[in-house]
Structure 1
Amino acid sequence: MLDIGYSLSRRFPDPPQTDYRLADVRTLRHDLFCGDVYLADTKADREVSTGWGWVPVLDFAWALCDIVEQLDRDPRGNRSANRQYAELDFTESTDRMLFERRFGWVDVAADWMPADEPPLTFGHRLLRRESRDFLHDLLADLGDMHEGLMDNPAIWDIQSRFPRV
């Protein structure tokens, strides 16, 4: 079972004068909603998580949905033995979260994990569903906290690009 979650940082609050209706994509993805994120395998009781407090949470959700689609470019889908790679780099550091798909399985690892620790493994279909659910749940939470956010055209665009599965 896959669980994707987040926590917002109190050390890096959003600027109080922000007009969320008019914020551009760069601001939404890189300058607001900082915190930490995790992907957890609840069955194995293991996770890949950040602990820095400054990860742009919306950018993580957005990028994760992009990566899941990128890993699905082989027309053979789950029948493909070819390895497909993607990485999510964190803007303010050299750390990366690494994704590798073969057949219908995706391995998730990170630069900061111990070298002898195996990656987390999830079904691609499950990762797609959960990443989109995470994005929509995050947007609902952020919309409740920040007036005008759900009226932003960039938010409409991301919701239409990655509908719930």
Structure 2
Amino acid sequence: MLDIGYSLSRRFPDPPQTDYRRADVHALRHDLFCGDVYLADTEADREVSTAWGWVPVLDFAWALCDIVEQLDQDPRGSRASQPQYAELDFTESSDRMLFERRFGWVDVEADWMPGDEPPVTFSHSALRREARDFLHDLIADLTDMHEGLGDNPAIWSLQSRFPRLP
């Protein structure tokens, strides 16, 4: 079972004068909502996680949804035997989270994982569904915490671009 989660950092709070209603895409993706994120295989009790405190969690959710779609560009879908690759770069470091899809499965690993540790593997369809659920749940949490964020047009656009899946 796949679990995607986050925690917000107390060390890197958002600027108190932020007008979330008018925050631009760059601010939403790179300057606000810093913390840590994880992708966990709850059955195998393994995860890929950050522990830096400065990862922009909304950007992570947004990028994860983009990556899942990028991994699905082969018209053969889950029948494609050629591996498809994507990576998520963390802006403030050289670390990357790496994704490889073969058939209907996606291996997830990170530069900071020990070299002998195997990747965490999820079905592509579960990763797509959970990534979108994570994005919507995160937005709901953030709009509860930050007045005006729910009225931001970039947030509306993001939610419509990646709707929840049944």
- What TM-score, normalized by structure 1, do the two folds share? 1.00
Which residue in 2 is equivalent to 1:98? 98
* Structure 2 residue 43 is the aligned partner of structure 1 residue 57: no
* Structure 2 residue 7 is the aligned partner of structure 1 residue 7: yes
CA distance in 1, matches of 2:11, 2:111: 24
Work out the number of aligned pairs and report it.
165
State the one-letter code of the partner of 2:119.
P
Which residue in 2 is equivalent to 1:110? 110
Give unmatched runs, 5+ long, in structure 1: none
Which portions of structure 1, spanning 4 or more consecutive aligned residues, are displaced by more than 2 angstroms?
A: none
The offset of 1:52, in angstroms, is: 0.2
* Structure 2 residue 85 is the aligned partner of structure 1 residue 89: no
Give the SS at the match of 2:29: helix
State the one-letter code of the partner of 2:98.
L
CA distance in 2, matches of 1:40, 1:73: 25
Which residue in 2 is equivalent to 1:159? 159
Identity %: 85
CA distance in 2, matches of 1:70, 1:133: 18
The offset of 1:101, in angstroms, is: 0.2
State the one-letter code of the partner of 1:146.
H
CA distance in 1, matches of 2:15, 2:113: 33
CA distance in 2, matches of 1:121, 1:31: 30
Which residue in 2 is equivalent to 1:26? 26
The offset of 1:59, in angstroms, is: 0.2
The offset of 1:21, in angstroms, is: 0.4
- What TM-score, normalized by structure 2, do the two folds share? 0.99
Give unmatched runs, 5+ long, in structure 2: none
Give the SS at the match of 1:141: helix
